Amino acid sequence: MKLFKIRGGVHPFENKEATAGSKIMPVPLAKKLFIPLQQHIGAPAEPIVKRGDKVLKGQLLADSQGVISAPVHAPTSGTVIAIGKYPAPHPSGLPVRTIIIEPDGEQRWIDISLPYDDPFNLDPDEISARVAAAGIVGMGGATFPSAVKLNLRKRYQLKQLVINAAECEPYLTCDDQLMREHASEIVDGICIMMHALQVIKTTVAIEANKPEAIQAIEEASKDLAGVSVITVPVRYPMGSEKHLVQTLTGKETPARALTADIGIVVHNVATAHAVQQCIRYGRPLIDRVVTVSGGAVKNPGNYLTPIGTPISMLIDFAGGFKIEPARLIGGGPMMGQPLSGTKVPIVKGSGGILALTAEEISQKQTMPCIRCGACVTACPCGLLPLDMANRARSNDLEGAVKFGLMDCIACGSCAYVCPSHIPLVQYFNFAKGAIIEKQRGQHKQEETRRLAEARTIRMKEQAQAKREMMAKRKAEMAAKKAQEEKKLNAKQRSDAEASA
């Protein structure tokens, strides 16, 4: 198949050798599991259990709120010992609402028997409803609720499904290893997703540096006419869904639109596996494969980790630190976020935990921009990172937006090539955050006005009602008085008559 070129991109050192081919090892249960209620994009889930409740493995702990949301389930059986705030795996390290479970070690499942034999007889809506109830979110890191993407067929004319197995981030091999070991389950998951989306064509896109995974998926899908495996060139950011689609089809997704606008839905390969587990066995998303790597880790590898396991536990299981890491990152080194410490838990979107040494992060002094244009060449979205960063630096947010800030995917290619080591992506993240905060301020102002107006109207109505009441009472009083006077007058008259 003919592939198309994308613009820009970089070739970072892959550093995948340390973990490529290392078997997925299950991580034992931690003493306590910390399950954040927001592990996805959208509204946080709302707890339905109380402190002290006994829960079983796979039991619903907190339910989704609204359409763009996802529930969370118990990764093992045990007791809910607290529902409170706990630091999130987030660069701010701020606390989020978290359910803390103390495992009893019995691993007793809830009843997960299924009311059907063949998922292909199910209604597509039923499949997406089951995927939503299983709390499955995009496992490539974006954590967008998968069921919403399975429902896209209602609004778009879909032509094909693309399975994103590019795994272009350096260090990470969790998807690679999942494909090597669970190819048939992944292909089954792909077929279920094709049924849910009602499409007949699927392309599994894998970067050329994973020959074993390519072979495994090809082997597993050789009898299926609709599923084809495509080897894509090794180039960061190949795993960005818009760029992947462009490589495969030559079509560019319009700015700020979805790939569904050009008839394509992209799902991560680990999501396909999670969907298969949910539809075939009724298992919700309660664990995931995490790559633990980086120069500071003793035994880098891929670990099947229950959601909520503290990172410290995972690192201990990987042999602990060889040397003190200079930086701890959740995700890949290009787009991952620094972590505040090792006590934060693994969540649905954690594909990797990297403990990098000072050599690996090679932090250098920022120098002035020399307008060499390297970032412009590297930008896969065709933007001008240097101009955007300049505007963000001088607080000219609108200017940055005019230069295409909202089309930036924060892939980090520009910062990677910058010879002056300017933290370009941090400027963009700052500007995006400031714009959102400004919008929030405006929204609050509008709401305040609405509330104040509603109150003024209510106060007026109340005053009016009071006045009317007073007038009515006054009239009643006057009438009563008049009647009494009349009575009195009549009495006086009769008295007078009597005396006369």
Partner 1 sequence: MLSAIFILTVLGLTLGIILGAASSYFSVEGNPLTAEVEAMLPGSQCGQCGYPGCTPAAAALVNGEADITLCPPGGRTLAQELAEKLGISVDLSNMKDKQPMIAKIREELCIGCTKCFKRCPTDAILGGSKQIHSVISDACTGCEKCFDVCPTECIDMHPIPKSIQNWYWSKPSVSV
For the chain, how far is it from start to end, CA to CA, in angstroms?
128
Nearer to partner 1, 303 or 416 (CB): 416
- The structure tokens 């969907």 sit at 275
Report the alpha-carbon distance of residue 226 to residue 221 in Å, rounded: 9
Nearer to partner 1, 113 or 365 (CB): 365
Least separation in angstroms between CB 42 and partner 1: 11
Nearer to partner 1, 367 or 463 (CB): 367
Interface pick for partner 1 out of 365, 496, 499, 500 (rule CB under 8 A): 365
Report the alpha-carbon distance of residue 178 to residue 207 in Å, rounded: 15
- The structure tokens 């065709």 sit at 382
Interface pick for partner 1 out of 21, 254, 319, 433 (rule CB under 8 A): 433
Interface pick for partner 1 out of 73, 90, 242, 348 (rule CB under 8 A): 90
The pairing of beta strand 301-306 with beta strand 24-26: parallel
Query: Which range binds partner 1 by CB under 8 A, 228-236, 241-249, 276-284, 430-438?
Result: 430-438
Interface pick for partner 1 out of 448, 483, 489, 492 (rule CB under 8 A): 448
Report the alpha-carbon distance of residue 98 to residue 36 in Å, rounded: 4
Q: How far is C-alpha 382 from the geometric centre of its chain's CA atoms?
A: 26
Report the alpha-carbon distance of residue 324 to residue 338 in Å, rounded: 15
Nearer to partner 1, 366 or 489 (CB): 366
- With beta carbons less than 8 A apart as the criterion, state whether 302 and 336 touch: no
Task: Decide if residue 265 touches partner 1 (CB under 8 A).
Answer: no
Task: Decide if residue 362 touches partner 1 (CB under 8 A).
Answer: no
The 3 state secondary structure assigned to 475-488 is: HHHHHHHHHHHHHH
Report the alpha-carbon distance of residue 61 to residue 414 in Å, rounded: 42
Least separation in angstroms between CB 434 and partner 1: 7
- With beta carbons less than 8 A apart as the criterion, state whether 324 and 294 touch: no
Interface pick for partner 1 out of 91, 124, 399, 404 (rule CB under 8 A): 91
Site string for partner 1, 399-428 (x = CB under 8 A): ------------------------x--xx-
Is residue 397 packed enough to be buried (19+ CB in 10 Å), middle (13-18) or exposed (0-12)?
middle
Task: Decide if residue 366 touches partner 1 (CB under 8 A).
Answer: yes
Least separation in angstroms between CB 397 and partner 1: 10
> DSSP state, 346?
P
- With beta carbons less than 8 A apart as the criterion, state whether 24 and 303 touch: yes
Q: How far is C-alpha 176 from the geometric centre of its chain's CA atoms?
A: 21
Interface pick for partner 1 out of 449, 472, 481, 487 (rule CB under 8 A): 449
Report the alpha-carbon distance of residue 486 to residue 490 in Å, rounded: 6
Least separation in angstroms between CB 456 and partner 1: 8
How big is the CA angle at 7 (ends 3 and 385), to the nearest 5 degrees?
Answer: 155
Task: Decide if residue 484 touches partner 1 (CB under 8 A).
Answer: no
Task: Decide if residue 157 touches partner 1 (CB under 8 A).
Answer: no
Q: Is the dihedral of CA 428, 207, 295, 378 positive or negative?
A: negative
Nearer to partner 1, 92 or 198 (CB): 92
Task: Decide if residue 440 touches partner 1 (CB under 8 A).
Answer: yes
Query: Which range binds partner 1 by CB under 8 A, 60-68, 123-131, 218-226, 435-443?
Result: 435-443
- The structure tokens 């693309």 sit at 162
How big is the CA angle at 382 (ends 377 and 385), to the nearest 5 degrees?
Answer: 70
Contacts to partner 1 from residues 3-62, by CB under 8 A: 38
Query: Which range binds partner 1 by CB under 8 A, 17-25, 98-106, 371-379, 391-399?
Result: 391-399
Query: Which range binds partner 1 by CB under 8 A, 150-158, 244-252, 340-348, 365-373?
Result: 365-373
Nearer to partner 1, 92 or 489 (CB): 92
Task: Decide if residue 429 touches partner 1 (CB under 8 A).
Answer: yes
Interface pick for partner 1 out of 436, 470, 475, 477 (rule CB under 8 A): 436
Task: Decide if residue 434 touches partner 1 (CB under 8 A).
Answer: yes
For 218, residues 6+ apart whose C-beta sits below 8 A from its C-beta are 229
Neighbours of 212 (CB within 10 A): 14
Interface pick for partner 1 out of 68, 255, 257, 454 (rule CB under 8 A): 454
Buried b / exposed e across 87-109, counting CB within 10 Å, b at 16+? bbbbeeeeebbbbbbbbeeeeeb
Number of residues that bind partner 1 (CB under 8 A): 37
Least separation in angstroms between CB 393 and partner 1: 7
Nearer to partner 1, 88 or 191 (CB): 88
Task: Decide if residue 340 touches partner 1 (CB under 8 A).
Answer: no
Least separation in angstroms between CB 366 and partner 1: 4
Nearer to partner 1, 215 or 340 (CB): 340
* Footprint on this chain of partner 1 (rule: CB under 8 A): 38, 88, 90-92, 94, 96, 365-367, 392-393, 395, 423, 426-427, 429-430, 432-434, 436-438, 440-442, 444-445, 447-449, 451-455
